[in-house]
Structure 1
Amino acid sequence: MECRQPPGLGSRNVSFLFWKIGQSENVFFSRLLSQSRRNSMKTVALFGTFDFLHAGHIFVLEEAKKLGDKLIVIIAQDHIVEELKGNKPIHDQSERRNLVAQLAIVDEALIGDTSLGGYEVLRQVTPAIVAIGYDQQELFDDVSQFIANHGLTMLVSRLPEYEKPGRKTGKLREAFGV
């Protein structure tokens, strides 16, 4: 009998027992490693409106996904979008959630909290990382404060700006007259 910790599991105090019984050792190890990776997947939560989906949104989603293994997108409710941006979204929250959920890079899409600044959804999805757009300083500050106030252990990460400035929903709405 041999005890050892497989590589890639970090500093976890977990030991695995392996019995020398030919090929079944490899099957046993493979199952344990697979289960360990599933249990240690890093979840990233990304807040957004995602109305009038465009290349800038895809860039943000790709950057958020680079931070972890599972990407959960939290879609702002219609009344919150109107309160923050001064106009209603082109697509309602269900349409926006359904559109985003269809993207292969997104593992899950949810409709966010009913109240502005609630962030209770973070307690439900318990991400390791909360990704915030480069231009969302107030959201960055609010989410950081919520996490600190509630004793949660999550990293808040600011995403880079898309390389083609002006690719924002508001500017596209103006250009298309919507």
Structure 2
Amino acid sequence: MTTVITFGTFDVLHVGHVRVLNRAAALGDRLVVGVSSDALNFSKKGRNPVFDQDERTEIVSNLKVVDAVFVEESLEQKREYVLEHRADILVMGDDWTGKFDFLNDVCRVIYLPRTPSVSTTAIIEHISGGGAAG
């Protein structure tokens, strides 16, 4: 059985999230998702997510391609998460290309292209009247 692991905030779930999760799931038999904690999200993006970590975890855990979900507390713990969940493959968006190559000794690292013209930030800005969604 091949286990795939991926990570993300998954705030304001959109088609880009669904597509990356589907592509990640297609690479193995089991998909484990680390949902960024509220504190981690704030440290990465400088803002709180729209939905808190419990809500985001519940949403992601109810997607049919997802087999297990946990809260990711730190970017520095990627190795521990990979080992703990016995992941064979780590999938990340291509905006992280090269950043997790150091994990190639414990799993295969794959960077998938992001869905063009869609982002959580753009959606939030559009809803708040700050710009066009795309």
TM-score with structure 1 setting the length: 0.67
| CA apart distance, 1:118 | 1.9
**Which structure: larger Rg?**
1
Runs (5+) with no aligned partner, structure 1: 1-40
The one of the two structures with greater contact order (alpha-carbon pairs below 8 A, sep at least 6) is 2
Runs ≥4 residues deviating over 2 A: none
Aligned mate of 1:71, from 21, 26, 31: 31
Distance 1:102 1:63 in 2: 17
1:168 aligns with 2:119: yes
**What is the RMSD computed on CA atoms of the aligned residues?**
1.6
1:103 aligns with 2:63: yes
Distance 2:83 2:67 in 1: 18
TM-score with structure 2 setting the length: 0.88
Aligned mate of 1:62, from 22, 33, 36: 22
Runs (5+) with no aligned partner, structure 2: 130-134
The letter of the residue matching 2:114 is: E
Q: Percent identity?
A: 34
In structure 2, the partner of 1:158 is 111
Distance 1:127 1:167 in 2: 28
| CA apart distance, 1:177 | 1.1
Distance 2:59 2:87 in 1: 22
Distance 2:4 2:15 in 1: 20
Distance 1:136 1:144 in 2: 10
Deviations 1:18-48 (CA, angstroms, capped at 9, x unpaired): xxxxxxxxxxxxxxxxxxxxxxx10000111
Higher strand share: 2
